[in-house]
Structure 1
Amino acid sequence: MDHFNYKNGELHAEDVPLSRIAAEVGTPVYVYSSATLARHFNVFQQALEWAPEHLICYALKANSNIAVLKLLGDLGAGMDVVSIGEYARARAAGVPGARIVFSGVGKTREEMKLALEGGIRQFNVESEPELRALSEVASGMGAVAPIAIRVNPDVDAKTHEKIATGKSDNKFGIPIARAREVYAEAAKLPGIEVIGIDMHIGSQLTDLDPYRQAYAKMADLTRALRDDGHDIRRLDMGGGLGIPYKRDNNAPPLPIEYGQVIREAVGDLGCEIEIEPGRNIAGNAGVLLSKVIYLKEGEGRNFLILDAAMNDLIRPAMYGAHHDIVPAIEPAPGADVSAFDVVGPVCESGDTFQKGTQLPSPDPDDLIVFRSAGAYGAVMSSEYNSRPLIPEVLVDRDRFAVIRPRPTLAEMISREALPDWL
């Protein structure tokens, strides 16, 4: 469910017509719904009500705007970060270090030091070299680093190969067959406190069976590690639950169903439960609002050229991902539609959002909306072709605010400098 609906013939974000945002802010622009973000977070809270101790750590990589983080943090969310930049964003949004989990395969010693100084809930350690480096950093500071080791269960998540993380040939985590020996090493290292296990098998999962397989292995490992003398008291189950990018397809499993899978697998272990949803909270909470520049007739096809491009929304070009594309003005029932290749102005053939999309024939300056663009949209955008990063807007009922402004060309160029010899 989201809060982007047609009202009086026009698509609204909550109670704000998208045309009003386009008129005041310009296009292209990302628009987020506060009500949808809150609802999706609260649905996960309900899914884990059975666990006396649990924390929903929102995955910043999905959408890291500090206004979004502030909204979720005020609702009680923890944060899952994968860089010191994301850590700094979470802290700037008012989230305490005690609710921040630091994941990622390439943490540097400087990042470890800064996180320990600022406060951290735990490090999710992904390799033995990282474990030893963290021990040296923490002990050198006279600190203790709480850790969970990320274990790779070798489970096929049945998702896109670029976002699968739980198979043996992925770069993430320690093979589950070696977990006990790595935990034994961790227990002997200075500056390290073993508190739990971490597991994350991929993103945009639409089937619960891979979770069942992975979490069964996690439960067995928990019991084995406890037998080895480790105080395993926290389980980080990862995230990755998919969202419905296509409105006419069967919906992915609900968070309440996902929560039940966790309960069935590890609910009897008495552990604190962490999950790391990102896309499922932010994805359908945002849209990309764009404007038609030209309609172009090609050889046997028609092109709809927009002012949004692949540098603004890279998912279709990078993953072959689908976003429902709809007009901002509600089509009349039975309105004639035509097939369009929806493309942007970037000088790449890959700057194609969809081919053969059925839409009512638009006119230049008509507004076009990409649904389900709240996750992995703005965060993955770039200034390719020297196109400025586009604004982000947060809506709350009948009001909205720009939460990332569009830089001017002068501001964009001013970040660069000429050397003295030129």
Structure 2
Amino acid sequence: MWPLTIYEVPITTVEMMERTITSYVKKWLGVPRCLSNIGLYGKGVLELPLTSLTEEYKCSKVRLQMTLKDSKDQTISKAAPPLQTGRKWTSSKAVQQATSALRHQDIVGTIQRGRGGFGLAASKPTFHKATTSERRKLVVEEVRRQEESARSAKAVSLVKQGQWTRWEGLERRKINWSELWQMEASNISFIIRAVYDVLPSPKNLHQWYGEDPTCPLCPAPATLRHIMTGCKTSLSQGRYTWRHNQVLKSLAAALETKRSATNSLPPKTSNPVKTTTFIREGQKRPKHPPTKPETGHLAMARDWKMLVDIGQQLIFPPEIGSTNLRPDMVLWSPSRKAVYIIELTVLWENSVEEAYERKKLCYTELAADATQRGWKAKVWPVEVGCRGFVASSTIRLLKEIGIHGQALRQTVRAVSQAAERGSQWIWIKRKDPGWAITS
């Protein structure tokens, strides 16, 4: 970026350089040329560790413009030369627009976004109270935000590659460089092409080359959604059930680890005894790392039990309620009279909210029956997208159980990878009429 910062290079030349770079990046990632640059450089639902050359060029010019303008040397600040960036975009106009937006934000104040309550939004530093270096940083961040807003506005207009803008209730996924280097080439290629629906499905091949759009397993049109979640033949052969069980195993392993660790703790006492440590004269008090208390609802008891509907048919504990339903997981404590009814759904990402309400309604009567018997029943529908995007409901469950920090990130990564690998295997076997559930 240093030559592009100090020399007078027009933005049209930088855009031409970015087109050349993008063509090689797409070849390296194994994605088709029709993939929009939003999928490579945007910070949408799937963020790659790549940045746009044009965006970096604009940020560097804006940073240089403010550095010269706000210099403490009066000779430099008063006689700062104008930066030649072409007629299409100028750094001075970009600084003026970003400064106006930041001053308007100071007037509006911190606004609330999402479903959180008042006061949950993090307060940002105000522009009028910031120092010179802080103002320069805020302006550069505002330029980046405007570039991302332009990409998001363009993504909304894309019918196929912009479907992710209509996803609700899903957590964003960010892939860093270390994770990208460890991935197989076929894996990262499948993830990107599946998210933006540019895989060579029969429907896409029909649109691109006029081939037959019929599914090889059933007479329906084979879109990517049909192959991943809607094929009746795949459903009857147990392909979706196998992928569901793979994700369930990853989630159950994390809950079992937390359950075992909680049950192995000493019994919880209502009035803990405080001990006094005596120190010899002349010695310093040893520094002991503070022990963090157990958090989450599991920390309230030491007799948690769990059943998982894998391998054999789950029989709901009769002391809690009588039903023929088979939830994916049941976690209960006899001493606390508390039970969690957990139901996992691996689905197409556009229908997360619908699946949550449907599964919660399915177990409402069972929870009411358990409540009448004196149990504190809670129904927890959790969703994972077939392309590896974990729903917010899954994150809330893990946090309520008491899984936080690195353990939470590892669990989310394991669940996401299980869904990805299962979907990738279903995609590879999309033309194979035979299917072995044990594969």
- TM-score of the two chains, using structure 2 as the length reference: 0.25
Q: Which one has the bigger strand percentage?
A: 1
More contact order relative to length (CA 8 Å, sep ≥ 6): 1
Q: Which one has the bigger helix percentage?
A: 2
